[in-house]
Amino acid sequence: MDQIYLDYAATTPLDKDVFEKMKPYLFEDFGNPSSSHFFGQKAETAVDCARRTMAELLDASGEEILFTGSGSEGDNLAIKGAAFERRKITKANKILISSLEHSAVTETAFQLQNEFGFEVTLLRVDKFGIIDLEFLREVIDENVAIVSTVYANNEIGSINPIHEIAVICHEKGIPFHTDGVQACAHLDVRFHMEEIDLLALAAHKFYGPKGVGALIHRKGIEMLPQITGGKQENKLRAGTHNVPGIVGMAAALEKKTHNLVQNNEMIIKKRDRIIHSICSTIQDSYLTGHPLKRLPNHASFVFEGIVGNDLVVALDMAGFACSFGSACKVGDPKPSKILLGMGLSPDLALGSLRITLGNQTTDEHIDRFLDVLPGLVKKLRK
């Protein structure tokens, strides 16, 4: 039997048109953009072109696009880079993040606390996983070096009021980073319009290649480089450019933006069919995250009386690839910190399941999934 992939928030397959655009830079146009000869110039032109394309699509300027090796790297550079630099200038040593962050943000902030003398404060979220703006206003002051909150959460799909958060940070003069890895795959993200200072994204979440990402970096936000060496990326990120990856990322972002409205309309219908079916046919099942302000492809649940990890294994054997909250937590059956942070009981938080749809998900896939799931939940509850 065919395996059905329902885990597009973990990663997506490379788009074939995108691969065609990358191909020349893997073979004949293989030069190093930092070389001054013909081969280097050709590669540099491709990188510049990708930079301009991405800037236009994200409402930023070319100099603000900083190429990285992943979403995690962008989060690291933004938080460490800005925190170290701001502490040097202002003595500020507090870091504000929410309880809903990807581990690339959480682990980075806590490393800064445990090894480098910073102090982390967790921002509160409501029961839908949306940042509590009043609490942010209460705790933010001049001693904060950086605020980082996820744009759209990978585990529960909720979308934060990014512009409002940015405005609160700027009233106090604090730089604001957002992990936009999920958001950039599914929403129309406007860097300047929303007054974001630092925005991380990764190509493999929107049908681009793995191992390449970007940090959009507002002019004037000082950062201490985390990878030192060559002069690439305004000396903020040394290392020979991943030319085919960068070309692929820009092409994938262009395609995503071009088809966004139409794709989202179709995918929301499919997602809502899953949500309505599960909530009406499976007893003691609950949607997690916000019912409306959520990623268009994202359906996440908790089921009373089961361990989500067991359900993911059972689904895998039945031919469906889903996730227990976030991809990074498979094999580690602890209740999700994100769900605990939203006020769920540890028992209920253990029973989580995430289904994320993509451009190869068909109505038939969903029918088959909805046929199988209730029986598996029933079996695991016994």
Ligand X SMILES: *Cc1c(COP(=O)(O)O)cnc(C)c1O
Indicate the residue type of 128.
F
Minimum CB distance to ligand X smaller for 40 or for 69: 69
- Region from 18-26, 64-72, 79-87, 368-376 binding ligand X, contact rule CB under 6 A: 64-72
- Region from 70-78, 217-225, 251-259, 302-310 binding ligand X, contact rule CB under 6 A: 70-78
Residue 7 as a binder of ligand X (CB under 6 A): the answer is: no
Rg of the chain taking only CA atoms, in angstroms: 21
Residue 106 as a binder of ligand X (CB under 6 A): the answer is: no
Minimum CB distance to ligand X smaller for 77 or for 247: 77
Residue 104 as a binder of ligand X (CB under 6 A): the answer is: yes
Residue 58 as a binder of ligand X (CB under 6 A): the answer is: no
Q: Which of residues 141-180 bind ligand X (CB under 6 A)?
A: 150, 154, 179
Residue 55 as a binder of ligand X (CB under 6 A): the answer is: no
Distance between CA atoms of 79 and 81, rounded to whole angstroms? 6
Minimum CB distance to ligand X smaller for 202 or for 223: 202
Residue 202 as a binder of ligand X (CB under 6 A): the answer is: yes
The site string for ligand X over 180-199 (x = CB under 6 A, - otherwise) reads -xx-----------------
Distance between CA atoms of 351 and 248, rounded to whole angstroms? 37
> C-beta of 243: minimal distance to ligand X in Å?
18
User: Which string of b and e fits 275-285 if b means at least 16 CB within 10 Å?
Assistant: bebbeeebeeb
Long-range contacts of 25-34 (CB under 8 A, 24+ apart): 25/243, 25/244, 25/247, 26/244, 29/243, 30/243, 31/243, 32/240, 32/241, 33/240, 33/241, 33/243, 34/230, 34/231, 34/232, 34/240, 34/241
Alpha carbon dihedral 355, 287, 180, 228, in 10-degree steps, equals -70
Residue 72 as a binder of ligand X (CB under 6 A): the answer is: yes
Minimum CB distance to ligand X smaller for 31 or for 71: 71
Minimum CB distance to ligand X smaller for 72 or for 361: 72
Chain position carrying tokens 């146009």: 29
Residues annotated as part of the active site: 328
213-217 and 65-68: which strand pairing?
Answer: antiparallel
> Which residues of this protein are in contact with ligand X, per CB under 6 A?
70-72, 102, 104, 150, 154, 179, 181-182, 202, 205, 213
